[in-house]
């Protein structure tokens, strides 16, 4: 049994007190605290992260373990190992590897599944994805679903077979996230409708990035995601991908359905230089990773920094934390994660008053 004292973020708000836990939280009691007591908050859940600390999902088992070990130091207690568009066999290998890491006891962030980002995207809106796009035929969708590791799929609804694929993924419980797309508003609406019709959940992959813009007479993908209240959205709040005002606008539209993600690539937490991203060279300097052509190539973000940025953008700390914990937990349907209350998993982050990570617990075990 472990006990921590501090300002605890519970589902009903901040509470000065003591939290007791083993693998699960057993008790939260009131207690008086000193002035500079630490913040005790739910562990962060990153539904879109490619790598970090020099490691990448596509590197193999050690790559997935390595990035989970890196991100846990920044408060991420659960993540979806995120693939990149690559030759089909590499994608299949990544799913196999993620499955074995998910089954082993972990000392890093828990790998909760896979976010399949590509190859079911548009060749016209690749961003930093290399062009190994294939159509989401029923055969391919069945092949990847058979691994039972995919929790989120990014899909461009205008691709051949995409609507059929949206339905298959949604029926299998996979969140269908629209992105890397040049879809018309009608195509986006059709995807949202088909997912809803089978009881599924849809989202927008890194809202504002790789999906065109919103204009007065053309709402585009951004407008469709903002206007449909049941649709979730991810935001990369690193100060480079999305303007803070757009983040606030997205929050006002989505409220409980907005999530902070990192979309981090392997250079997160590493020195400036050149790094591989899905077989392409990314140049890392001044806080960004870019391909030769200038495209942003993922981010160098970590979830602790994303939360700090949300506060800088004007969110309360409580909201900033929720965007990184309870919202993604609800999105993924993880009822025992994302909030601190008795019975929930003891995935806990301790932050100082500068919001720097002091300690991290996964399933009650201190890992950072």
Phi, psi of 89 (to 5 degrees): -60, -35
Using an 8 Å Cβ cutoff, are 157 and 205 in contact? no
Phi, psi of 293 (to 5 degrees): -80, 5
Strand partners, 176: 153, 202
Q: Look-up: residue for tokens 């903002």?
A: 226
Among 115, 43, 47, which Cα is nearest to 79's? 47
How many angstroms from the chain centroid is the CA of residue 141?
Answer: 22
What is the spatial distance between Cα 305 and Cα 11, in angstroms, rounded to a whole number?
22
Q: Catalytic one among 46, 59, 69, 263? A: 263
> Residue 223: how many CB atoms within 10 A of its CB?
18
In the DSSP assignment, the letter for residue 165 is: H
Among 210, 170, 212, which Cα is nearest to 191's? 170
Cα dihedral 54→275→304→340 (10° resolution):
-50
How many angstroms from the chain centroid is the CA of residue 189?
Answer: 23
> Quick check: is 263 catalytic?
yes
Q: In the chain, what is the straight-line distance between the N-terminal and C-terminal CA atoms, in Å? A: 17
What is the spatial distance between Cα 324 and Cα 283, in angstroms, rounded to a whole number?
28
Integer angstrom CA distances of residue 186 from 129, 228, 351: 25, 13, 44
How many angstroms from the chain centroid is the CA of residue 13?
Answer: 24
Burial tier of 18 (Cβ tally within 10 Å: 0-12, 13-18, 19+):
middle
Among 79, 87, 72, which Cα is nearest to 50's? 79
Tokens of 258: 């907005």
In the DSSP assignment, the letter for residue 325 is: T
Q: Which residues are catalytic?
A: 263
């Amino acid at each position: 049994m472990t006990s921590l004292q501090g300002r605890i973020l519970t589902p009903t708000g901040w509470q000065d007190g003591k939290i007791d836990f083993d693998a699960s939280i057993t008790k939260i009691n009131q207690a008086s605290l000193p002035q500079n007591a630490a913040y005790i908050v739910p562990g962060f859940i990153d539904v879109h992260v490619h790598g970090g600390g020099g490691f990448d999902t596509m590197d193999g088992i050690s790559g997935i373990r390595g990035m989970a070990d890196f991100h846990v130091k920044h408060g991420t207690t659960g993540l979806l190992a995120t693939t990149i568009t690559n030759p089909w066999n590499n994608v299949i290998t990544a799913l196999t590897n993620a499955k074995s890491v998910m089954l082993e006891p972990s000392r890093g962030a828990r790998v909760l599944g896979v976010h399949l980002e590509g190859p079911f995207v548009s060749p016209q809106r690749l961003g930093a994805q290399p062009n190994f796009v294939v159509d989401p035929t029923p055969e391919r969708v069945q092949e990847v679903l058979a691994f039972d590791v995919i929790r989120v799929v990014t899909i461009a609804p205008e691709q051949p077979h995409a609507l059929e694929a949206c339905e298959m993924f949604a029926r299998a419980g996979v969140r269908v996230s629209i992105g890397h797309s040049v879809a018309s508003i009608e195509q986006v609406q059709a995807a949202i409708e088909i997912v809803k019709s089978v009881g599924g959940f849809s989202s927008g992959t890194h809202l504002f990035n790789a999906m065109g813009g919103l204009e007065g007479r053309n709402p585009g993908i951004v407008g469709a995601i903002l206007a449909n209240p049941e649709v979730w959205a991810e935001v990369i709040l690193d100060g480079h991908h999305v303007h803070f005002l757009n983040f606030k606008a997205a929050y006002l539209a989505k409220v409980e359905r907005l999530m902070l993600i990192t979309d981090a690539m392997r250079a997160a937490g590493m020195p400036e230089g050149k790094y591989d991203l899905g077989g392409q060279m990314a140049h890392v300097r001044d806080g960004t990773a870019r391909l030769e052509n200038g495209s942003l190539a993922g981010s160098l973000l970590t979830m602790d920094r994303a939360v700090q940025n949300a506060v800088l953008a004007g969110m309360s700390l409580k909201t900033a934390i929720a965007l990184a914990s309870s919202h993604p937990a609800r999105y993924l349907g993880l009822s025992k994660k994302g909030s601190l209350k008795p019975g929930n998993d003891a995935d806990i982050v301790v932050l100082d008053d500068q919001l720097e990570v002091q300690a991290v617990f996964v399933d009650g075990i201190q890992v950072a």
